[in-house]
Amino acid sequence: MSQVEQTGETQNLTLVQAVRDALHHELERDEDVLVMGEDVGKNGGVFRATEGLYDEFGEDRVIDTPLAESGIVGTAIGMAAYGLRPVAEIQFMGFIYPAFDQIVSHAARLRTRSRGRFTCPLVVRAPYGGGIRAPEHHSESTETFFTHMPGLKVVMPSTPYDTKGLLISAIRDPDPVIFLEPKKIYRAFRQDVPDDGYTVPIGEATTRKEGTDISVYCWGAMTRPTMAAADNLEGEIDVEVVDLRTVSPMDKEAIVSSFEKTGRAAVVHEAPRTAGLAGEITAILQEESLLYQEAPVERITGFDVPFPLYALEDYYLPEAARIEDGIRTAVEF
């Protein structure tokens, strides 16, 4: 359940506006919070997620950096180790790899290597995924790289409400969080979001739709086509949709309890299939609830190829029709 400091006032926000709202709230609440990255200051960010923050909080709190991802994250780690709470933006997930060494060799290990003397209250934000007709290196969904690393939390929200609450939770967390924002739905829809600060707990899934025939697990941008598929199948198949929201740590209890109710499962993600998180979720179900299983777990994913450019992009991403086919395959087994 979310914890809300309620005044009752809300705004009807898009997902990217919810990102900005969370950053604004935490910059105002805690002077140790700062935002840094390429073009996040005067320009307001490539997707305008930081628009207006530079004018309100100044260049010492909203910092334009050189185009050097390793330098951005490395500097932020040093700031975090000495008590600040930096939020580092990487313009696209496909640009995060130069900072990979800083994230996995230093941020993730700082608490362990210092025997608890230092923590690393760092958030690395990055828009991820396809669907916006972007050029090369702009459409990756490689969350598995980071979920494999102990010491990192990986969050992938799907709604404006969850985005604000989870980002506030991430900023307040004492350890590093990779916060992946589904840019395909940055402005796809609006939702009422409380004006005040509230948190959505990291590591807790939510059930978007109750059902009895099959459990479908999703997160981020894939939640909307999954919900559309479930709605299209209404009257034919009773689909339960579980939005993980956080992929590390995974909410194993929610995954298992849903499966024990339905006996069938499908997993939807836009990352490539091989070593994707659908495999990990399948393993959890095999280990924890094998005797409830009535059919093989269906994986509805991207393909094991580089993310394609414009002409083939719609064929790569799982969409409602392909998700419906996968659900039918599992149910009709």
Map out the domains of the chain as residue ranges: 10-194, 206-332
CATH number of 206-332: 3.40.50.920
- Helices 15-29 and 160-172: crossing angle in degrees, nearest 10, is 30
Domains 10-194 and 206-332 share a fold: yes
Low-confidence ranges of the chain (pLDDT < 70): 1-7
Torsion of CA 169, 173, 179, 185, to 10 degrees: 0
| 154 close to 180: Cβ distance less than 8 angstroms | yes
How would you list the strands of the sheet with 62-64, edge to edge?
62-64, 33-37, 85-89, 123-128, 177-182, 153-155, 246-248
> Which pLDDT value is given to residue 7?
61
Cα 6 to Cα 77: distance, rounded to the nearest angstrom: 33
Residue 138 among the catalytic residues: yes
Q: Top-level CATH class of 10-194?
A: alpha beta
- Among 106, 138, 148, 269, the active-site one is 138
The pLDDT value recorded for residue 4 is 47
